[in-house]
């Protein structure tokens, strides 16, 4: 079974621009979560989607948003990029039952 895939793997953007990241979960997984990983703050939860609905949201400004499609694929968008948004963005998927989340390889975003 294919794992979680994320595209693109690397991105370089300029301050003020916006960016969209994509995540395809493991087949059959309907829950998709997003995390931000930085050296200073570590791994922080952004939001979780299930059946196209946002179920949980972390402590991030409104510039960070997401959505989920009917095939469970998810996108996250960051508008008006700031230097501090440079990070590894990780997507994870989960079966409806069970506790484990399975992570993709991440998208490395660099804001200059």
Partner 1 sequence: GDSVTQMEGPVTLSEEAFLTINCTYTATGYPSLFWYVQYPGEGLQLLLKATKADDKGSNKGFEATYRKETTSFHLEKGSVQVSDSAVYFCALSDLSGGSNYKLTFGKGTLLTVNP
Residues that bind partner 1 (CB under 8 A): 4, 6, 31, 33, 35, 42-43, 45, 48, 50, 55-56, 58, 90, 92, 94, 99-106
| Helices and strands in the chain: count of H runs, count of E runs | 0, 11
Q: Provide the minimum distance between the beta carbon of 1 and partner 1 in the complex, in angstroms, as a whole number.
A: 14
C-beta closer to partner 1: residue 22 or 105: 105
The DSSP secondary structure of 9-36, one letter per residue, reads SEEEE-TT--EEEEEEPPTT--EEEEEE
Q: Provide the minimum distance between the beta carbon of 16 and partner 1 in the complex, in angstroms, as a whole number.
A: 28
Q: Provide the minimum distance between the beta carbon of 86 and partner 1 in the complex, in angstroms, as a whole number.
A: 16
C-beta closer to partner 1: residue 14 or 40: 40
C-beta closer to partner 1: residue 14 or 59: 59
Q: Provide the minimum distance between the beta carbon of 106 and partner 1 in the complex, in angstroms, as a whole number.
A: 5
Question: Rounded to whole angstroms, how far apart are CA atoms 70 and 84?
Answer: 32
Half-sphere exposure of 68 (CA within 13 A, CB side): 23
Question: Rounded to whole angstroms, how far apart are CA atoms 37 and 43?
Answer: 4
């Amino acid at each position: 079974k294919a794992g979680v895939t994320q595209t693109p793997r690397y991105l370089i953007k300029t301050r003020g621009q916006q960016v969209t990241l994509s995540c395809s979960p493991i087949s059959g997984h309907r829950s998709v979560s997003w995390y931000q990983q930085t050296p200073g703050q570590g791994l922080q939860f952004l939001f979780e989607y299930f059946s196209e609905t946002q179920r949980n949201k972390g402590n991030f400004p409104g510039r960070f948003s997401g959505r989920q499609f009917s095939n469970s694929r998810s996108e996250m968008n960051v508008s008006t990029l700031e230097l501090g948004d440079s990070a590894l963005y990780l997507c994870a998927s989960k079966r409806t039952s069970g506790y484990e989340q399975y992570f993709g390889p991440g998208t490395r975003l660099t804001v200059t």
